Amino acid sequence: MTFSGYFYIFSNCAHKIAQQLNQQLTQLQQQIDVYKQQVSQYENVNTNNQQQLTNRLKQQEMTIQILVEEKAELNGKVRNLEEIEINTKGHLDNSSFGFKKLK
């Protein structure tokens, strides 16, 4: 075989190898693009989840604050009712003591 024959075979093999490498490079680039899309979607979902969690925490904090205020208000009302009950019992005791005295 002549030099030109070997050169033709080598050139043909090199061309086929180059085509295969280009195909593999294209597939790898496509895989990288898919991976980038998945990472982007994950980051978007993660950001949305963080925002939802932050909003839920704010809602819970507001609810807790409202409940604390309502509890304080109810405790105040209970104290007032207890004072009224004590005063009423005192008045009833005084009235019954005065009533017994009258008998």
Residue range 50-99, pLDDT digits in tens: 999 999 999 999 999 999 999 999 999 999 999 999 999 888 777 766 55
CB atoms within 10 A of CB 67: 10
pTM of the model: 0.55
Quote the CA–CA distance of 51 and 45 in Å, as a whole number: 10
Residue 101 has pLDDT above 60, yes or no: no
8: tokens are 């033709």
How far, in whole angstroms, is CA 67 from its chain's centroid?
22
Mean pLDDT of the chain: 90
